Amino acid sequence: MADASTVFEFIQNMIVEIKDLEPSEIQQETSIDELGLDSLDYVEIQVGVKREFGVALSPALFEKQIRTLGQLCTYIGTAAATQEA
């Protein structure tokens, strides 16, 4: 099962690699907009999440529902748990 902290660690590590940031710069309260992700970064995150947790992320999530990394991690954890049930 993917809890929010496991998902956050995974996402944090991806963003550290993608954006060359320090882990301390990436917190659950960090807004997605603050990270300055481009379309290829989003695709890389989508592919990584699908591979690791089996959860597909649609671009619409980032436009309407998901504003912070914490919200993203909660969404992924919940979706992964639903698939396991």
Does this model's pTM top 0.85? My answer is yes
In the prediction, which pLDDT does 59 show?
Answer: 85
Confidence of residue 81 (pLDDT cuts 50, 70, 90): confident
Domain boundaries, the chain: 4-20+31-84
Region of 60 please: left (phi>0), alpha (psi -120 to 50) or beta.
Answer: alpha
CATH number for the domain whose boundaries are 4-20+31-84: 1.10.1200.10
